[in-house]
């Protein structure tokens, strides 16, 4: 979703009155893709604020998108992308028609091919932490090489490189980056740890 930095910061549970401060901490650390899941309180307001204040400098999108009506709402809010927890061709088709980038949740090879054939821009492999890097390697062996995989669920600074080495293009970072109610200071510290881990991996591949 962003070639500058393929790490997606997931702000699950963030509230409108705090969303901008946490996004600012993430941008300062080096993030350029921010996801606000739809199971967060008053997500419409949070996404609208995020797009208004930061949409011109970073990609603001939505996660846990499961139905077509939400896709239409997100398009009207100016969302750049959606992430889904499941593989729903109708959601993919609607998002593509709205010119939104899609990262589609899947686990099996069958789900991955359904998403790819409907034009998904990326595949969200979930729960990656439970499946492990070897599962990523197995998927990569049969999927078209141009399909970018994102590891989501259980990704930490100390295991991020394992998934990147296994063939993931990027990763979605959840509770090890942000937990609802945590301080801005904690968000900044966690974000710094992830960016350092990613940069260390890139240096090792140079």
Asked whether residue 2 is assigned to any structural domain, the reply reads no
For residue 63, count CB atoms less than 10 angstroms from its CB and return exposed for 0-12, middle for 13-18, buried for 19 or more. Answer: buried
Tell me, what's the pLDDT at 114? Answer: 97
Read off φ and ψ for residue 178, nearest 5 degrees.
-140, 130
Mention every residue, 6+ apart, whose C-beta is less than 8 A from residue 182. Answer: none
86 secondary structure, DSSP code: S
Contact 98, 75 (CB under 8 A): yes
Asked whether residue 194 is assigned to any structural domain, the reply reads yes
Domain of residue 146, CATH code: 3.20.20.70
Structural domain of residue 13, as residue ranges? 7-204
Q: Please count the structural domains in the chain.
A: 1
d(CA 202, CA 206): 6
d(CA 98, CA 142): 30
Asked whether residue 1 is assigned to any structural domain, the reply reads no
> Which tens digits make up the pLDDT trace of 21-62?
999 999 999 999 999 999 999 999 999 999 999 999 999 999
As a whole number, the mean pLDDT across the chain is: 96
Asked whether residue 158 is assigned to any structural domain, the reply reads yes
Asked whether residue 28 is assigned to any structural domain, the reply reads yes
Active site residues: 35, 124
- As a residue count, the chain comes to 206
> Which tens digits make up the pLDDT trace of 153-196?
999 999 999 999 999 999 999 999 999 999 999 999 999 999 99
Contact 130, 153 (CB under 8 A): yes
């Amino acid at each position: 979703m962003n070639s500058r930095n393929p790490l997606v910061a997931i702000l699950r549970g963030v509230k409108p009155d705090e969303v901008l401060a946490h996004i600012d901490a993430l941008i300062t650390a080096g993030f350029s893709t921010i996801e606000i899941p739809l199971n967060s309180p008053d997500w419409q307001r949070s996404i609208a604020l995020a797009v208004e204040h930061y949409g011109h400098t970073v990609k603001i999108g939505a996660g846990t998108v499961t139905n077509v009506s939400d896709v239409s709402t997100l398009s009207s809010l100016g969302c750049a992308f959606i992430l889904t927890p499941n593989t729903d061709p109708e959601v993919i088709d609607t998002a593509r028609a709205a010119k939104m980038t899609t990262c589609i949740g899947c686990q099996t090879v069958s789900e991955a091919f359904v998403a790819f054939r409907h034009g998904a821009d990326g595949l969200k492999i979930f729960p990656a932490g439970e499946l492990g890097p070897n599962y990523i390697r197995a998927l990569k062996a049969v999927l078209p090489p141009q399909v970018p995989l994102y590891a989501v669920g259980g990704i930490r600074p100390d295991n991020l490189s394992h998934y990147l080495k296994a063939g993931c293009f990027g990763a979605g970072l959840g509770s090890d980056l942000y937990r609802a109610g945590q301080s801005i200071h904690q968000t900044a510290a966690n974000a710094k740890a992830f960016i350092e881990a990613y940069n260390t991996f890139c240096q090792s591949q140079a």
